[in-house]
Structure 1
Amino acid sequence: MKLKYFVLLMFTGLLNLNAQDYYFPEVNANWAQKSPQSFKINETQLKNAVDFAKANEYSGSRDLRIAILKGFEKEPFHQILGPTRKRGGPAGMILKNGYVVAQWGDTKRVDMTFSVTKSFLSTMAGLAEDVGLLSNTNDMVGNYIWDDTFKGAHNSKITWEHLLQQNSAWSGELWGGKDWADRPPSEGDIDDWKFAAPKEPGTVMEYNDVRVNVLAYSLTQLWRKPMPMVLKDKIMDKIGASSTWRWYGYDHAWTEIDGLQMKSVTGGGHSGAGIFINTEDLARFGLLFLNDGKWKNEQLISSSWIKKATTPSTPNSNYGYMWWLNKKGDRHWDGLSENIYYAAGFGGNFIVIDKEHDLVVVTRWLEPNKIGEFMTKVNAAFK
């Protein structure tokens, strides 16, 4: 019996000795690099992937105000309501076990990140659940928010999960944005969209920034403080992010809580605003998720939340709690692991988490329809 126990201890010890610890960059320090060969990564194949990213820049204008107005020109009443910024060129980082094995472009330049913001917003809900502000994502949001946002026969049925999975079908207007006018169908009369009965919550995913901004507003009410403050205190400062990132709302999106005026932020840059951030800070955020919510020895976001956030929703197998999932479906990257998940934003901004390869990939201003091909090239370097 003692011999078996001794053998078990030896085996466990060997496993621990062979376990690869992640590297976490310090605050304001140069990010440690390692050669691809040190991880048995094919350097030629990895360079091919990087060259592909640099050669396939997003085709829209570098003046993002112009790109936004052009990209959403079919929407009635669409206009710029928050800050925008001219962007830089392609940039990115590839991390293996936390170490930089490839990078390109200006990784310290702050740029808009559009719907990558949604994955940060989702994390604010996760933090609320972790600290007990939110009991369960299946709770009705109207039980937490006292005003009229979730009143009525339809909106009263909406849960936090519905908002997080973008299948709430919330009906109404927020900050001048009308739910029915956001990304309307390409066919049909405007009255068909305007007067159509809202779908049952939880049944159909509809990518809709007005409803995402309803989630941001609701979380601001729940936390009783602006979301950038929560993100800074709970996540960004603790992962050693720079002081350069910002999270904006629309110019007029003010709400009063406890006698204080607070800006309600957006979950994207569809009409301007959202998170403006550099590539290295995005990579730090990705590394936190690669390590199941733990930075060094501190658990910042629970692994149970990350599991929920990366579980497919019923109406869309490729979408969780504002993270895209590489499951079988319309957005599946053929030949790549179904356990990959990622944040994605307008103009080709991506944070990709590949747990099987201990990999974080951040790429910016890549032509969006090239991301699957790019990740296939990255994956080839590991074969």
Structure 2
Amino acid sequence: MYFPDADEWERRDPEAVGLDPAAVEAAVDYHKLNGTPREQINYDFADHETWDEAEGDHGQRIGPHPARRGGPAGVVLKDGYLVAEWGDTHRADQAFSVAKSFLSVVAGVAWDRGEIDSVDDPVREYVDGGFEGDHNGAITWRHLLQQTSEWEGTLFGKPDAVDRNRAVGKDGEALDKSETRTLREPGTFWEYNDVRINRLSLALLRTIGRPLPRVLAENVTEPIGATDTWEWHGYYNSTVDVDGTAMKSVSGGGHWGGGLWISARDLARVGLLYLNDGAWDGNRLLSEAWVDASTEPCDVNEGYGYLWWLNENRTLWPSAPESAYAALGHGQNTVWVDPEHDLVVVLRWLRYDEDAEETDARTEQDRFYAKLLEGLD
């Protein structure tokens, strides 16, 4: 396995690493012809003060956005080598919920260092505030990492209820966001909810006692040779006191602004780290145990691990191996890891099929992978 130095990346012709050049070209051309349209995600983020009209007054943006988004871009790595690259892969662009997987990375650093003894510990044993009472007090780190916490409350002005019933990852039976529902016991119900993700981010900040971007940089992005162009933002009102020091609590997505702004090349390096079970050129950055646990299916959602999307029963990507997994964000921002074929794919701004049924798993991502994987020896 090849690991690129900080300022360079060795390229290989696809056929030199067992890929059909025509298949690689077909996959890349498919993305170029199917970039995210303006009407799906507007180029000019700054023009949008409200994320979701269904959220009413709580839908207002409270964090920064890049002024504009980029165009279709991507990277394909095989055995670590750069075999395809298109678009502006150096642009630090909004990655949306890819940031959730980066929170999982930081949680892994804390777990490896013993700052979190067990993911099954109640979070209230580590932080003061936010986890009082019988319901919230029963929430564990595992619940937060798997999005099964059912945490109830308001954080940075956003009540958890405003983000309940999101259709992300749900079938056709998902409720409308305007409908209410009774909370379940922690660990028994899966729901994609950014308020609860931000609760995890704040809990990690208070447990580690240092800004999460600094933890990520020192333990992951700097050792793997990523650039210093990425940024991880919180909200305008998410500065908190941590042991007497003011620190910004970062968001786990761009739902109301903030979030992770990063280049396709830097995302590919993180994907390569996970492809190699947390090791980089012989240097152990994350334990193999953490990477394995992160990609194990959640009991109540087999397609989800510790903030990584999984392909159990080939449900999410029928054309890909069952072992494949990914960090996914709005705009089809994707870091796809395929251990069976030693592949890493980064996609930025791929269109999505608005006419497909919720249960239709053959997404635009899968169409890309199907074309790419046709070229494997």
TM-score surpassing 0.5? yes
**Aligned residue number for residue 253 of structure 1:** 238
The whole-number CA distance in structure 1 between the counterparts of 2:273 and 2:317 is 23
The whole-number CA distance in structure 2 between the counterparts of 1:188 and 1:341 is 28
Displacement of 1:204: 1.1
Displacement of 1:40: 2.5
Mapped pair 1:88 → 2:70: yes
TM-score by length of 2: 0.91
The whole-number CA distance in structure 2 between the counterparts of 1:212 and 1:238 is 26
Given that 1:90 and 1:366 are in contact with CA atoms closer than 8 Å, whether structure 2 keeps it comes out as yes
The whole-number CA distance in structure 2 between the counterparts of 1:306 and 1:268 is 21
Given that 1:118 and 1:267 are in contact with CA atoms closer than 8 Å, whether structure 2 keeps it comes out as yes
Give matches, 1:96-107, under 5 Å.
96-107=78-89
Task: State the number of aligned residues.
Answer: 355
Residue ranges of structure 2 left out of the alignment (5+ in a row): 167-173, 353-362
**Aligned residue number for residue 115 of structure 2:** 133
The whole-number CA distance in structure 2 between the counterparts of 1:188 and 1:354 is 34
Given that 2:96 and 2:255 are in contact with CA atoms closer than 8 Å, whether structure 1 keeps it comes out as yes
The whole-number CA distance in structure 2 between the counterparts of 1:222 and 1:301 is 18
Q: Which has the higher helix share?
A: 1
- % identical aligned pairs: 43
Displacement of 1:197: 3.3
Taking a change above 3 Å as real, the CA distance of residues 163 and 61 of structure 1, as seen in their structure-2 partners, is same
**Aligned residue number for residue 218 of structure 2:** 233
Give matches, 1:356-371, under 5 Å.
356-368=340-352, 369-371=363-365
**Aligned residue number for residue 147 of structure 2:** 166
Mapped pair 1:380 → 2:374: yes
Give matches, 1:1-383, under 5 Å.
22-27=1-6, 29-59=7-37, 60-66=41-47, 69=50, 72-76=52-56, 77-85=58-66, 86-147=68-129, 149-184=130-165, 190=178, 193=180, 196-328=181-313, 331-368=315-352, 369-383=363-377
Taking a change above 3 Å as real, the CA distance of residues 346 and 67 of structure 1, as seen in their structure-2 partners, is farther
Q: Which amino acid aligns with 1:42?
A: D
**Aligned residue number for residue 171 of structure 2:** none
Q: Can you list the C-alpha shifts for 1:71-122, whole angstroms capped at 9, x where unaligned?
A: x222232011111011111000000011000110011011000000011101
The whole-number CA distance in structure 1 between the counterparts of 2:268 and 2:177 is 43
**Aligned residue number for residue 16 of structure 1:** none
Given that 2:268 and 2:335 are in contact with CA atoms closer than 8 Å, whether structure 1 keeps it comes out as yes
RMSD: 1.6
Q: Which amino acid aligns with 1:63?
A: D
TM-score by length of 1: 0.90
Highest Rg: 1 or 2? 1
Given that 1:57 and 1:366 are in contact with CA atoms closer than 8 Å, whether structure 2 keeps it comes out as yes
Q: Which amino acid aligns with 1:328?
A: N
Displacement of 1:378: 1.3
Q: Which amino acid aligns with 1:286?
A: G
